[in-house]
Amino acid sequence: MEKLIVEGGRKLQGQVRISGAKNAALPLIAATLLAPGTHVLRNVPDLRDTRTMLRLLENLGVKHSRQEDVLTIDATDIIYSEASYDLVKTMRASVLVLGPLLARLGRAKVSLPGGCAIGARPINFHINGLELLGVKCLLEGGYVDASIDGRMKGNVIYFDIPSVTATENLLMAAVQAEGKTVLKNAAREPEVGNLIDMLNGMGARIEGKDTDRLTIYGVETLSPANCAIIPDRIETGTYLIAIAATGGEGTVTHCNPVHLPALLEKLRATGLVIEETETTITVRQPANGVLKSVDITTMPYPGYPTDLQAQFMALMSLGSGVSVVHETIFENRFMHVAELQRLGADIKIDGHTAMVKGRTMEGLSGARVMATDLRASSSLVIAGLAASGRTEISRIYHLERGYEKLVEKLAGLGGSVWKEQE
């Protein structure tokens, strides 16, 4: 097993190119199951999670090849309709094959999903929605065994809480259902919009993109897709925060600033200077060199993203006052706090709220820490880059699930980061 070594105290400077979004690539890869033929996806990140999703599709009979960031998927033949525990246990997004398999084959058996241990993310939204479309769902032996005779029937489906994966799964299930399906209180994330663009390009009829009310008019057949993955807004935010935390100045390229309204507002509130073009964001240090402490509350899009909460907390540990971080999405998403404290961060937790007292004068110091989930891992990297001395981060397989070429990109910005065997 590998660990990541970070020699802190260096300002990150220069440019870094953003990869395609992991959270968009996974549902788009799953959506290729809907139509026989050869699909082409561009700007696909090469990550542990995308490779896991492709292995899952391989087990179903799908063929694929990759050239740089272009992925070609031949979904002509689907031999099996079961997604086994061995693959699904490592990645929650594996459940996204449930909707397209039902639409294509009328049956699917998918293991209950795993992934990061950041809290309960129940699958009941998926199951309740599918049952409203006429699907019979049985939960047995840790699997969802779902089937339907003929086509699904359109219906109105309301989500108590906006769920990204449930919205995506039911979109894929409903595109070939009879009649009209309406998803109310649907997720509005850009990754959902990317999926809608792909499905409409395949011949689906979906209205309401970027709103919480999606209307799907079922069609009988779909054609293979040819589309691009949007830039990764979480990777974008992570690098912006990393540059800011080290006292550096730099530009992230091949990104979409429109997808990060809440983060950019909060970064500006700290005193950082943020400059945007259509595809770049530049971050510069405050004129007085002092970061103001700023409060955040995680919310569904377009609110502040939970996937950038840990990174912002690392930044606020270097602020000039006290920051209040309120987590409303996942109940276990403060597991990184104990590890940040090992680096010297002054953080106190009260339920779903963390109080972060900035250490402007003292700063952080390198230490041995352990990654607990994907985004927590990146907060430790940020803190390690800003700290004095050496930080060793174990269990970095979490990082490899969501950040393409992390070591190379940080080195390109002047960071001293490398991998070693434990």
Catalytic residue among 116, 137, 227, 255: 116
pLDDT at residue 118 in the model: 33
> Catalytic site residue 116?
yes
Q: Is 226 annotated as a binding residue?
A: no
Q: Is 79 annotated as a binding residue?
A: no
Q: Is 92 annotated as a binding residue?
A: yes
Which domains, from first to last, does the chain contain? Answer: 2-19+231-421 (3.65.10.10), 22-228 (3.65.10.10)
pLDDT at residue 90 in the model: 74
The string of pLDDT tens digits covering residues 299-356 is 999 999 999 999 999 999 999 999 999 999 876 678 899 999 999 999 999 999 999 9
Mean pLDDT of 265-273: 98
Note the Cα 405 to chain centre separation in Å: 16
The string of pLDDT tens digits covering residues 41-93 is 999 999 999 999 999 999 999 999 999 999 999 999 999 999 887 877 777 78
Q: Which of 25-34, 117-126, 319-328 has the lowest mean pLDDT?
A: 117-126
